[in-house]
Amino acid sequence: MDSLVEKIEALQKISQELEPSFKERESLNEQIREFANHFLDNLEAYPAYVEKDAVVEKLTFNSGKKTLKELLTNFNSEVVLKGIKPASGKHLGYVPGGGIYTAALGDFLASVTNEYAGMYYASPGAVTMENELLNWMKKIFNFPKEAVGNLTSGGSIANLIALTAARDKYQIKNDKIQKSVIYLSPQAHHCIHKALRIIGLEDVKVRLLELDEFSKINTEKLAEIIQEDLKNGLNPFMVIASAGTTDTGAIDPLSAIGEIAKNFNLWYHIDAAYGGFFILTESKKKLFKGIEFADSLVIDPHKGLFLPYGIGAVLIKDKKAVFHSHHYTADYMQDANTVAAQINPADVSPELTKHYRGLRMWLPLQIHGLEPFIASLNEKLLLTIYFRNKLKIAGFELGPKPDLTISYFWYPSKKIDENIFNEKLVEFIHANGDVFLSSTKIGGKFVIRMAILSVRTKKETIDTAIEMILKCLMQTKEYF
Ligand SMILES: *Cc1c(COP(=O)(O)O)cnc(C)c1O
């Protein structure tokens, strides 16, 4: 017995290391705080993109102890100073967000308290907070109170949960799979195709719909194709619209598609991961008319609310359809099986134990109030116009007037094939890296894409971007 106690005590001495004292915590906090402050205060000076590989040796885990100082040095040189800087306002590629500081503080508290946000029983407060955020989103998008929702890790998992509910509601399985049809835009996000494979619907028929000149779904054709499919004995079951495509930020005609979905009894899914929160702006609100017809909806707070990566959201009207795959009971969960006053996040998601994501959204919204978030969205809309005006003056061709803050442009080179010219231009832009822009293909044409959604993108950032683009344009002209 004594030797057992001795052994425990010996181990305790070692494991105690994992529980820093007040003084040690203060010292660690101070170093992290200093690092974070230095990062934020110098962020503007960092290039938005550094094309460099990470040195593996500096990041390899080995089992000995290291000082935080030493670790932060490697973190800085290998992680912070390489690749794309998503926190930078000069990140104008893909879909940025920025990552506001108060959300990081929410994450800190979520980790320290380590609340169990999967079950109401375990943390009624954490689950209520998350459900209140979902209720707020239901209100914004005119969803009924009875709808269920989940704060996911991002838009991909949110889409996965929504499509799973659609599959289960329409019982798309066995022989039905190959006869079933889904309708969507060729510009729908690729995570939808991934989700279909994951949930066993790889073999459904996917009809890529025709788009108009603004890259929006042509709804007249849609009804025709559905009728044709019905005539041929197929099983149309879902139509997917985007409220802000990734390529061009286009918002599909949501009302008209909703009408068609209703007429043909289809599940109506809308992916508003990028565009959703623009519904909060007076000038764009009307473009979202009809979003309330959706059976399921995806919105990404780590895009439109500028939160750090790691938070998406899904809303679904049919609770039963969601519960079919996600609600499960097990003997070891019997204590949790009391009738909960709130929906358990674990019943709306593949996750059981989950990060307590609500706090990183709730805290910033409550500390700052909603107004600066809306002002920031409006600011991004105007900066998009500002950027396009400047590009036009500089001799660039512009894609059509965007619905939101994603747009594209290219240089109309006369001397050399436009695609080849603009590809080279993007190479120079990436090699420069001060401001980061990505590229895409629109109807086979190589174009440069700008996505203005970082909370830190300001008028001065756009001026810097123009300066850099003109410099790279000169280099490209010299090259050819
Ligand atoms: C970003 C995005 C996604 C994917 O979301 P993640 O958060 O990256 O997983 C899906 N759809 C659209 C329209 C997006 O913009």
Instruction: Write out pLDDT tens, residues 146-193.
Output: 999 999 999 999 999 999 999 999 999 999 999 999 999 999 999 999
Listed residues 338, 368, 398: the one ending a domain? 368
- 42 lies in some domain: no
- 358 lies in some domain: yes
191 close to ligand 1 (CB < 6 Angstrom): yes
- 65 lies in some domain: no
C-alpha to C-alpha distance for 405 and 385, rounded to whole angstroms: 8
Question: Can you tell me which atom of ligand 1 is nearest the CA of 155?
Answer: 5
457 close to ligand 1 (CB < 6 Angstrom): no
Q: What is the mean pLDDT of residues 228-255?
A: 97
155 close to ligand 1 (CB < 6 Angstrom): yes
Q: Whose CA is nearest to atom 5 of ligand 1?
A: 155
- 458 lies in some domain: yes
Q: How far is the CA of 85 from the centre of ligand 1 (A)?
A: 18
pLDDT digits (tens, 9 = 90+) for 56-98: 999 999 889 999 999 999 999 999 999 999 999 999 999 999 9
Do 254 and 283 belong together in one domain? yes
Q: How many domains does the chain have?
A: 2
247 close to ligand 1 (CB < 6 Angstrom): no
Cβ pair 209, 186 in contact under 8 A: yes
Do 357 and 443 belong together in one domain? no
C-alpha to C-alpha distance for 434 and 239, rounded to whole angstroms: 41
Task: Tell me what the pLDDT averaged over the chain comes to.
Answer: 96
DSSP assignments along 322-376, one per residue: HHHHH----GGGGGG-S--SS--GGGSSS-SS---THHHHHHHHHHH-SHHHHHH
Q: What separation in angstroms does the CA of 359 have from each of 18, 87, 113?
A: 25, 20, 11
Q: How far is the CA of 119 from the centre of ligand 1 (A)?
A: 26
242 close to ligand 1 (CB < 6 Angstrom): yes
Per-residue model confidence (pLDDT) at position 334: 73
Per-residue model confidence (pLDDT) at position 339: 64
Do 361 and 392 belong together in one domain? no
Q: What is the mean pLDDT of residues 332-360?
A: 87
Q: Give yes or no for residue 338 having a pLDDT over 70.
A: no
Per-residue model confidence (pLDDT) at position 337: 64
β-pairing, 312-316 vs 148-152, is antiparallel
Q: How far is the CA of 109 from the centre of ligand 1 (A)?
A: 27
Per-residue model confidence (pLDDT) at position 329: 78
Cβ pair 400, 139 in contact under 8 A: no
What's the CA angle centered on 336, arms 334 and 338, to 5 degrees?
95
Q: Whose CA is nearest to atom 15 of ligand 1?
A: 274
426 close to ligand 1 (CB < 6 Angstrom): no
pLDDT digits (tens, 9 = 90+) for 99-157: 999 999 999 999 999 999 999 999 999 999 999 999 999 999 999 999 999 999 999 99
Q: What is the domain-level CATH number for residue 225?
A: 3.40.640.10
Do 323 and 392 belong together in one domain? no
Q: Which domain holds residue 229?
A: 107-368
Question: Can you tell me which atom of ligand 1 is nearest the CA of 312?
Answer: 7
Per-residue model confidence (pLDDT) at position 286: 97
Q: How far is the CA of 351 from the centre of ligand 1 (A)?
A: 19
- 50 lies in some domain: no
Cβ pair 383, 459 in contact under 8 A: yes
Listed residues 368, 390, 421: the one ending a domain? 368
Do 222 and 361 belong together in one domain? yes
Do 351 and 379 belong together in one domain? no
8-47: buried (b, 16+ CB within 10 Å) or exposed (e) per residue?
eeeeeeeeeeeeeeeeeeeeeeeeeeebeeeeeeebeebb
Do 357 and 243 belong together in one domain? yes
Q: What is the domain-level CATH number for residue 404?
A: 3.90.1150.10
Q: Give yes or no for residue 328 having a pLDDT over 90.
A: no
pLDDT digits (tens, 9 = 90+) for 253-310: 999 999 999 999 999 999 999 999 999 999 999 999 999 999 999 999 999 999 999 9
Q: Give yes or no for residue 368 having a pLDDT over 80.
A: yes
Do 152 and 254 belong together in one domain? yes
C-alpha to C-alpha distance for 312 and 316, rounded to whole angstroms: 14
Give me the percent of the chain exceeding a pLDDT of 90: 95
Structure tokens at 76: 């800085």
Per-residue model confidence (pLDDT) at position 302: 98
Q: What separation in angstroms does the CA of 120 have from each of 128, 145, 332?
A: 7, 18, 16
C-alpha to C-alpha distance for 216 and 347, rounded to whole angstroms: 35
Do 418 and 321 belong together in one domain? no
The number of beta carbons lying within 10 Å of the beta carbon of residue 125 is: 12
Listed residues 333, 368, 403: the one ending a domain? 368
C-alpha to C-alpha distance for 419 and 425, rounded to whole angstroms: 10
185 close to ligand 1 (CB < 6 Angstrom): no
Do 355 and 382 belong together in one domain? no
154 close to ligand 1 (CB < 6 Angstrom): yes
Least confident of 13-27, 183-197, 326-340, 380-394: 326-340
Do 182 and 274 belong together in one domain? yes
pLDDT digits (tens, 9 = 90+) for 454-475: 999 999 999 999 999 999 999 9
Per-residue model confidence (pLDDT) at position 1: 61
Do 364 and 378 belong together in one domain? no
pLDDT digits (tens, 9 = 90+) for 418-449: 999 999 999 999 999 999 999 999 989 999 99
- 198 lies in some domain: yes
Supply the pTM of this predicted model: 0.96
- 297 lies in some domain: yes
- 271 lies in some domain: yes
**Coil vs helix vs strand at 236:** strand
Q: Give yes or no for residue 362 having a pLDDT over 90.
A: yes
